Amino acid sequence: MKIFDFDIEKGIYHFEFNDLNTENHSHPVVEIINAKHGTFSLEVNGHSEKNLVFAIIDSNIEHKVVSKNGQLRILMVESHNPLLFLFFESKAIRFENGAFSRANFYIKNELMEEVIEFARTTDLKTPVDKRVADCIKFIEQNELEYKNLLSHLTSKAFLSESRLSHLFKEHIGVSIKKYLVWNKLKQAINLYLEEPDSLTSVSLESGFFDQAHLSNSFKNVLGVSPSRAYNSRTLQA
The domain ranges of the chain are 2-121, 130-235
Q: What percent of the chain is modeled with pLDDT above 70?
A: 94
Q: What is the pLDDT of residues 32-69, one digit of tens each?
A: 999 999 999 999 988 999 999 999 999 999 999 999 88
CATH number for the segment(s) 130-235 = 1.10.10.60
| DSSP per-residue string spanning 153-222 | HHHHHT--HHHHHHHHHHHHSS-HHHHHHHHHHHHHHHHHHHS---HHHHHHHTT-SSHHHHHHHHHHHH
| pLDDT tens readout for residues 140-176 | 999 888 889 999 999 989 999 999 999 999 999 999 9
pLDDT of residue 166: 96
Domain spanning 2-121, CATH architecture = Sandwich (2.60)
What is the per-residue pLDDT across 180-223, written as a single tens digit (0 to 9) for each? 999 988 888 888 777 766 677 777 777 777 788 888 888 888 88
Return d(Cα 45, Cα 97) in angstroms, integer: 7
Question: What's the pLDDT at 221?
Answer: 87
C-alpha 145/C-alpha 184 separation (Å) is 11
State the pTM of this model: 0.91
